[in-house]
């Protein structure tokens, strides 16, 4: 049973909450607060929910992690769709890491200090990136337990692992001239006298044009259905995961409508209809196998690498007696080019975030912040100071003369 005790000492009056703690030798732990209101709020948060924990069958941290996995895989958290098989596999790995830690308290007795100790253990034993992802998943576990009313509050709130952005160097973005070279090369290959080359690049040409005009990820346009093509843009409704399995976009932000030019959409539709896309769910750019979709790696090797080589955007290097071909750009360069054009045309950061399908605007700034800041600086320098909004143009006496 919890209680509050008033304490008066050299530092003034404080209010001490005594509450049950199975991990303590005495069976109780204590927290002190400056005000009675804070103490009462804390005591309420530590009250066990009557019968709930017993009915749920969840007492340990390990049991909570197992329940979280079941929810993610079977029904989806927070009104989301169930995660893909590939994502669930990653979650299962993180669950094993979480359960390998020596949790010396039951779930309801966890404190912030326990989470900080767990964070220290993660940072000592894993890379910053992996530690951050595991801690994020553990936070998700606690939020699910909170949603199910098994715990009253989330002791991991606000506790994170700080890591540098994976974009430590600015992304390599094709210039307008380089993008024009890529498109012209795709045109030439699609009109090659070699029938096999022409047939292959009839498809890749339409993909490249649409990718540059929409900023879609390769994993999105490879499985674009016919219903995703609209007169003035593209609607993203599905994507490939890391295991090359088809499913919904990984996040809600991935489901989006992107405004594009009519030419690229018409080119994609023309190709899809010519190659058997009749049902709205049929793929616009199918594989050669009826009803199937292209794998990313096959597109990379057979389409993109050839395109880079033919466009003169590759170079050969000799290392340890072996020749290595370095391509200047990956397929994601078309996505980066699209974003750079939005920035160049003064679209807001929020607009760019939505078009790119970023769940968090922090990701938008991590990747394109240097371009956004550059454009803002150019705009500010062109605009000048703010007095032009106050003082009308005049050839007469300066207002400054009377200040």
**Cα–Cα–Cα angle for 270, 273, 279, nearest 5°?**
140
Q: Taking Cα atoms as reference points, which of 320, 313, 361, 348 lies closest to residue 334?
A: 313
Cα–Cα distance for residue pair 376/348, rounded to 1 Å: 10
What was the pLDDT predicted at 53?
45
Q: Identify the pLDDT of residue 168.
A: 57
How many residues are present in the chain?
Answer: 403
Task: Tell me the Ramachandran region of residue 104: left when phi exceeds 0, alpha when psi lies from -120 to 50, beta otherwise.
Answer: alpha
CB 229 within 8 A of CB 262: no
Q: Please report the DSSP string for 325-338 in residue order.
A: EEES--THHHHHHH
In our burial notation (b when 16+ CB lie closer than 10 A, e otherwise), range 268-284 reads bbebbeebebeeeebbb
Question: For residue 229, what are the β-bridge partners?
Answer: 234
Residues 43-52 have pLDDT tens digits of: 776 654 443 4
Query: Under a CB-based contact definition with an 8 Å cutoff, are residues 57 and 63 in contact?
Result: yes
How many Å apart are CA 350 and CA 344, to the nearest integer? 15
User: Which CATH number does 170-387 carry?
Assistant: 1.10.443.10
Cα within 13 Å of Cα(314), Cβ side: 15
pLDDT computed for residue 383 by the predictor: 63
Rounded CA gap, 36 and 372, in Å? Answer: 49
pLDDT at residue 47, rounded to an integer: 56
Q: Which of 312, 378, 350, 369 is nearest to 171 (CA)?
A: 369
Q: Distance between the two ends of the chain, CA-based, in angstroms?
A: 71
- The model's pLDDT over 209-222, given as tens digits with 9 standing for 90+, comes to 999 999 999 999 99
Segments of the chain with pLDDT less than 70: 1, 10-11, 21-27, 45-56, 78-79, 163-169, 380-386, 388-389, 391-403
Global model pTM greater than 0.75: no
Domain ranges, ordered by start, for the chain: 1-47, 55-163, 170-387
> Which CATH entry fits the domain spanning 55-163: 3.30.110.40, 3.30.420.40, 3.30.590.10, 1.10.150.130?
1.10.150.130
* Integer Cα distance of 268 and 212 in angstroms: 12
Q: What is the pLDDT of residue 51?
A: 37
């Amino acid at each position: 049973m919890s209680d509050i005790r008033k304490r008066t000492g050299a530092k003034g009056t404080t209010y001490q909450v005594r509450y049950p703690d199975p991990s303590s030798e005495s069976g109780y732990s204590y927290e002190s607060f400056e005000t009675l209101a804070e103490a009462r709020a804390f005591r309420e948060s530590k009250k066990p929910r009557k019968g709930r924990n017993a009915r749920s069958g969840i007492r340990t941290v390990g049991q909570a992690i197992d329940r979280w996995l079941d929810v993610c895989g079977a029904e989806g958290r927070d009104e989301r769709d169930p995660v893909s098989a590939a994502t669930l596999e990653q979650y299962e790995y993180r669950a094993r890491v979480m359960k390998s830690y020596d949790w010396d308290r039951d779930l309801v007795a966890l404190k912030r200090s326990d989470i900080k100790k767990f964070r220290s253990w993660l940072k000592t034993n894993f890379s910053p990136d992996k530690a951050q992802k595991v801690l994020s998943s553990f936070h998700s576990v606690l939020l699910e337990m909170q949603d199910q009313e098994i715990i009253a509050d989330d002791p991991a709130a606000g506790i994170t692992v700080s890591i540098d952005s994976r974009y430590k160097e600015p992304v390599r973005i094709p210039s307008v001239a380089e993008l024009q070279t890529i498109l012209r090369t795709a045109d030439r290959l699609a009109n090659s006298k070699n029938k096999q080359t022409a047939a292959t690049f009839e498809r890749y040409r339409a993909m490249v044009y649409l990718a540059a005009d929409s900023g879609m990820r390769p994993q999105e346009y490879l499985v674009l259905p016919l219903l995703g093509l609209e007169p003035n843009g593209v609607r993203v409704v599905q994507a490939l995961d890391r295991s090359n399995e088809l499913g919904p976009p990984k996040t809600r932000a991935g489901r989006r409508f992107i405004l594009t030019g009519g030419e690229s959409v018409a080119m994609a539709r023309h190709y899809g209809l010519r190659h058997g896309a009749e049902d709205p769910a049929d793929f616009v750019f199918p594989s050669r196998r009826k009803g199937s979709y292209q794998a990313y790696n096959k597109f990379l090797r057979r389409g993109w690498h050839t395109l880079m080589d033919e466009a003169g955007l590759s170079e050969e290097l000799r290392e340890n007696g072996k020749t290595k071909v370095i391509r200047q750009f990956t397929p994601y360069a078309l996505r980066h080019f699209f974003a750079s054009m939005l920035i160049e045309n003064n679209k807001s950061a929020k607009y760019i975030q939505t078009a790119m399908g970023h769940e968090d605007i922090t990701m938008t700034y991590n990747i394109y912040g240097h371009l956004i800041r550059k454009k803002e600086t150019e705009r500010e320098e062109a605009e000048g100071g703010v007095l032009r909004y106050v003082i009308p143009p005049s050839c007469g006496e300066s207002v400054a003369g009377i200040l």
